Chains A and B, each alone.
Chain A
Amino acid sequence: MSFIEDTITALATPPGFGAISVIRVSGEASIAAVDNIFIGKRKLSVAKSHTVHYGKIFNSDEMIDDVLVTIFKAPNSYTGEDSVEISTHGNPLIAKTILELLTKNNVRLAEPGEFTKRAFLNNRLDLSQAEAVADVISSHTEASLRGARNQLNGLLSLKVDELRSLLLNAASFVELELDFAEEDVEFIGKKDLLARIDNILAEINTLLSTYSFGRILRDGVNVALVGVPNVGKSSLLNYLLKESRAIVSEIPGTTRDIIREEVSIDGFLFKLFDTAGLRFSKDPVELEGINRSREAIQSADIVLFINDVEQDFDQLLYNDVLKLNKKSKIITLLNKIDKGYKGDKKYDLTLSALTGEGIDILLKSLKNSALINSNYSEKTAVVSNLRHYQCLTKCQEDLSKARESTSNNMSGEFISVDLRNAINSLGEIIGEVTSEDVLNNIFTKFCIGK
């Protein structure tokens, strides 16, 4: 009695009009279900795996569309089950009709992520790959997709695997001295062991440092727009979005709610938060806006501190921002230079949200700020998943404890406790368990046995 018995379907391409739409069907009944609504040269039930078939989808007598149908047979499909992909013309009505037809043929609509879940349960993906697929599905922009695909191809898995075998080696040296003390083999010195631990620690730290960037790749860069009322924050936002969802008015303090919009710059996702003023107010609605603004500043990766040519630089406000968020990059902007620009060295950038002058420099600056502190290339293993980050952090803690025990001249069995935990923490990322690994390593590397 399996809990994967039924057959599921969903639209595999984004909804809406496009060149084509792809409908995916997976499960034991998938081929039979499509056979019921498809007329081609021959029955799909006799087709081989990984073959493409041209034909027509019918609703009783009514022809719905010309389609291409691809057959994948278990276990050689994405989910590990029998699967069918139907490529239709990219019209949402066609897709909707076909999905409805399928649901009348023993197929139900899939829940979000259910295909990936099945792939995982059928051992088609390891845990980190499954998580990466979930990331691919939810990733918005090109670079994000590249980062997620890297992980899918196992860049992170490879790196973690490499570190794990380094750790196994270190642990083997420690165990060797405990279980084979009477043997005529060289044991590891404290210095050598410390060097090995430090080396792995450094690698773990490097991986951990990619997390903020990995998160940016996946979730986007948080940008808060800050400035006294009426300096043109919303206008700038609108210019960036080329649409006007934020309310722009001449009355100061109208942006009560946080406006959040997403833009893509050269493939990087930016989330722009238009903040209300930070000044005191007795209006409870406005106070709420102020609180939200504070939160937006605190979680921002980049703060755009905006002023206009008609007002003096607000040092107090600037200090407030600094107090709220010490770690993020602050870019100071002078807006409305179309109203007459006198030149001011206080600002990083000058622009006009009305004419668009200087916007290109702002875009470049935003992208550079996102890339800062990362030696990112597409070959780098990037940690973008919180669970991986936590496992690596745990590994880092274990290694630090092992390091401390080693420095304090503790005997090997104490060092081993933390080394083994560290190995397990890494194993959790790629879903591998240890047990025999250390002993096997010892028998391979050292001549043991009197």
Chain B
Amino acid sequence: MKYDVLVIGGGHAGLEAAHAAAVMGCFTALVTMDKHAVGRMSCNPAIGGTAKGHLVREVDALGGIMGKLADKTGIQFRMLNKSKGPAVWSPRCQSDRKLYSEAAFELISSTPNLEIIEDSVIEIIAEGNIIKGVRTSRENEIQCTTLVLSSGTFLNGLMHTGLKSTQGGRFGELPSIGITESLHKLGFESARLKTGTPPRLKKSSIHFDDLEYQPGDQNPQPFSHFTDRSNFPFLDQVPCHITYTDREVHKILEKGFKESPMFTGIIKGTGPRYCPSIEDKIVRFADKERHQLFLEPEGLDSDLIYVNGFSTSLPANIQIEALHKIKGLEDCELVRPGYAVEYDFFPPQQVDLTLETKLINGLYFAGQINGTSGYEEAAAQGLVAGINAAAKVKGLPEFVLKRSEAYIGVLIDDLVVKSTEEPYRMFTSRAEHRLLLRQDNADRRLFLYGNRYGLIPSDSLEKISEDESLINNSINLFNNLKLHARVVNSFLENKGLSEIDSTETISKLCKRPELSIKEVIGLINDKDPMIGTLLQNEKALEQVEIELKYEGYIKRQYEMVERMEKYESAKIPLTLNYHNVKALSTEGREKLNKVKPRSLGQASRISGVTPSDISILLVYLKN
């Protein structure tokens, strides 16, 4: 038996890959060590957040499942950055860890064309440069046309608490041994990364009454376009609590430094700077009096609390001693100490923008194996890898998003081009076209692609296209429709705003930060029927308002996209041997040879490639 698409690993990347491939009509199987562990959240019980929320919205607009699962199992929804402009609004939710995993299993096991195989892969098999399948510990061999490898932190996973280390990819779960070694044999290079997780405490042992708390939004918004808004949210909503460390806590933690696997050099992998352990924070920012901690519920029925901000690999006795000095945690019970985990990853210069490896035809890498961190980053890659694997089987064109089209495009381009020295996390500041890549317009940006690969139903695409014309026609109308001073000024005066001289277009009035589009439309006497339609369509109205209010900035970003396009569309043949381009700097030549960029734009983003290298390439390519 031979599968079209075989997916190794049932985490957030593997789920998306398997689901997408199956929906695209490929005979698909998902291999996981424990089928009830699919979609398990290894670290914090939350989905989304700044930039990550954007990724979830994009995954949803391409027909992925993360947004739907998060909506189903969310126990607190917040739109972050609401006080800022719409481009950086980011949805986030606290999830019920158990329910999320259950919902994932339910969805995946009811997906047609998709089989779940409970087994452990010990070898990747290829013939020449073509993927053949895998060898597992139970069966002999599973054959496939394409393979998506999304094994998370399990490849030679090693967990550390104090000087004690245990083999495993996640608490209580075995590591995956053999895959790395077989990939080495095929010519791949691997390296080590490190990440960590904080302790889990018993909920009933915490004095919440003494702590500040953070509730969810009054009017929670779902991630997914397809979630029924009429009875959302589906579960009871609960708050998080906030507490702080202090000097005394830091002193106790310092006592444990001599038994820290990080400071004693036992851990060799590099950890993320944006998610440092508490011991790292104390050392690097010694003058900081206190560090903020979020106590996040793990679920409605769960008696576990996740101590966000207290990631640590210090010995368990030090962890509990320090925790007891923290307000609200004086009597807390440590259910599971924090730990650091080291794992193998494969520096992502070894994959192409499709996430297919450059060495082996039909083999795709997605998620932490590419050096990323985060469920959302994993899901985005899983989806892209799954679509491309299925597209290869079906003979469809490759699926690659541009940096100007989606955060997913930024993510994969960054991975392929930049050297990863720490686990890669998405930030809005990584997207140079941030104002265009908003969470509110993900559907407008990506439904077309989702539909092209059969993941977004045609009626949804039609609806979005109708909205699109309504949005554009409305903007045209408002650019030309003028209001008289006598109609507008009394309203402006009442609001204490400066009045207009004779007439003003609706668009110009909308640009005033103090005025909402609804207020301005309210001033129109003879309303075009289209305006009535627009007022009925909240989503389209929001798009019109954003495009009018920030027109100048948005236009400038489009101009920037156009300027960059010149370099992005200057293709470099993959066969180019940079050693023949003698004028290149030594470092530039090495990096270029390693990355083999597809375009001049990509080449310019490789660190170590100088602007003069780019002009030399430009000259060379023209010759």
**Chain A contacts to B: CB under 8 angstroms:** 1-4, 120-123, 126-127, 175, 177-184, 408-414, 416-417, 420, 431-433, 435-436, 438-439, 443, 447-450
- Other-chain contact of A2, B557, B580, B604, B610 (Cβ < 8 Å): B580
Q: Does B575 contact A (CB under 8 A)?
A: no
With an 8 A cutoff between CB atoms, is B281 at the interface?
yes
Q: Which residue of B lies closest to A427 (CB)?
A: B611
Query: Whole-angstrom distance between the alpha carbons of A448 and B272 in the complex?
Result: 10
Question: Per a CB cutoff under 8 Å, which of A122, A410, A413 touches B88?
Answer: A413
Bound form: Cα–Cα A1–B513 in Å:
58
Q: Are B288 and A413 in contact (CB under 8 A)?
A: no
A450 and B556 CA atoms in complex are apart in Å by 35
Task: Please tell me the number of chain B residues within 8 Å of chain A, measured between CB atoms.
Answer: 56
Contact A439 B429 (CB under 8 A): yes
| Cα-based distance from A414 to B555 in the complex (angstroms) | 12
B84 lies within 8 A of A178 (CB):
yes
A420 to B434, CA, bound (A): 12
Docked CA distance A435–B583 (Å): 24
Q: A411-B85, A443-B273, A449-B276 are in contact. Are A178 and B435 (CB under 8 A)?
A: no
Centre residue among B434, B582, B610 by max chain A CB count within 10 A = B582
Q: List 29 A-B contacts (CB under 8 A).
A: A2-B580, A122-B583, A126-B612, A127-B611, A127-B612, A179-B429, A182-B50, A184-B244, A184-B291, A411-B85, A413-B85, A413-B88, A413-B428, A413-B435, A414-B435, A414-B550, A416-B434, A417-B553, A417-B557, A420-B432, A436-B418, A439-B427, A439-B429, A439-B430, A443-B274, A447-B285, A448-B276, A449-B274, A450-B294
Q: Which residues of A contact B435 (CB under 8 A)?
A: 413-414, 417
A-B pairs with beta carbons under 8 A, tally:
118
Chain B residues close to A by CB (< 8 Å) = 49-51, 80-81, 83-85, 87-88, 244, 272-276, 281, 284-285, 288, 290-294, 308-309, 311, 418, 427-430, 432, 434-435, 513, 550, 553, 556-557, 580-583, 585, 604-605, 607, 610-612, 616, 619-620, 623
The 9 closest A-B pairs by CB, nearest first: A2-B582, A184-B292, A411-B85, A447-B285, A411-B84, A450-B309, A443-B273, A121-B583, A179-B427
Return chain A residues, CB-CB under 8 Å to B556. Answer: 417
In the complex, besides A411-B88, A413-B84, A436-B607, 15 extra interface pairs with C-beta distance below 8 angstroms are A1-B580, A123-B610, A123-B612, A177-B84, A179-B428, A182-B49, A184-B244, A184-B291, A414-B553, A433-B611, A439-B427, A443-B273, A447-B285, A447-B291, A449-B309
* A contact residues around B430 at 8 Å (CB): 439
CB distance from B77 to the nearest CB of A (A): 15
Instruction: Given the known inter-chain contacts A2-B582, A182-B80, A414-B553, please indicate yes or no for A449 contacting B281, CB distance below 8 A.
Output: yes
CB neighbours (8 Å) of B272 from chain A are 449
Residues of A within 8 A of B275 (CB): 449-450
Contact A450 B611 (CB under 8 A): no
Asked if residues B612 and A431 are in contact (CB atoms below 8 Å), the reply is yes
The residues of B that contact A417 with a CB separation of less than 8 Å are: 435, 553, 556-557
| Residues in A neighbouring B427, C-beta threshold 8 A | 175, 179, 439
What DSSP secondary structure best describes chain B's contact surface?
A: loop
Output the least CB separation between B213 and chain A (Å).
15
Q: Are B434 and A413 in contact (CB under 8 A)?
A: yes
Q: How far is the CB of B275 from chain A (nearest CB, A)?
A: 4
Q: Roughly how many angstroms separate A181 CA and B85 CA in the complex, as a whole number?
A: 13
**A2 cross-chain contacts in B, Cβ below 8 A:** 580-583
Contact B84 A123 (CB under 8 A): no
Interface centre among A2, A178, A435, by most B CB within 10 Å? A178
Bound state CA distance, A448 and B51, in angstroms? Answer: 16
Compute how far the CA of A175 lies from the CA of B50 in the bound complex, rounded to whole angstroms.
12
Contacts of A448 in B (CB 8 A): 273-274, 276
Chain A residue numbers with a CB within 8 Å of B50 are: 178-182
Q: How far is the CB of A54 from chain B (nearest CB, A)?
A: 33
Shortest Cβ distance from residue B289 to the other chain A in the assembled complex, whole angstroms: 11
Chain A residues, Cβ within 8 Å of B581: 2
Known A417-B553, A431-B611: A4·B85 in contact at CB below 8 Å: no
Q: What residues of chain A lie closer than 8 Å to B273, measured between beta carbons?
A: 443, 448-449
Q: How far is the CA of A126 from the CA of B610 in the complex (A)?
A: 10
The answer to whether A4 and B429 touch (CB under 8 A), given A121-B612, A178-B84, A180-B50, is: no
Residues of A within 8 A of B80 (CB): 181-182
Q: Say which residue of B88, B585, B604 sits within 8 Å of A178 (CB atoms).
A: B88
Closest to A405 in B: B553
Q: How far is the CA of A182 from the CA of B84 in the complex (A)?
A: 13
In the complex, residue of chain B having the shortest beta-carbon distance to the beta carbon of A420: B432
CB pair A183–B292 under 8 Å, yes or no, is yes
CB-CB < 8 A to B87: which residues of A?
A: 413
Chain B minimum-CB-distance residue to A428: B611
Are A123 and B585 within 8 A (Cβ)? yes
Residues of the A chain whose Cβ atoms lie less than 8 Å from the Cβ of B585: 123
Chain B residues in 8 Å Cβ range of A181? 50, 80-81, 84
Task: Indicate which residue in A121, A431, A436 contacts B616 across the interface (CB closer than 8 Å).
Answer: A121
In this complex, what residue of A is CB-closest to B44?
Answer: A450
Of all chain B residues, which has the CB nearest A174?
B429
Q: Is there an interface contact between A4 and B281, defined as CB atoms closer than 8 Å?
A: no
Contact status B582-A4, CB under 8 Å:
yes
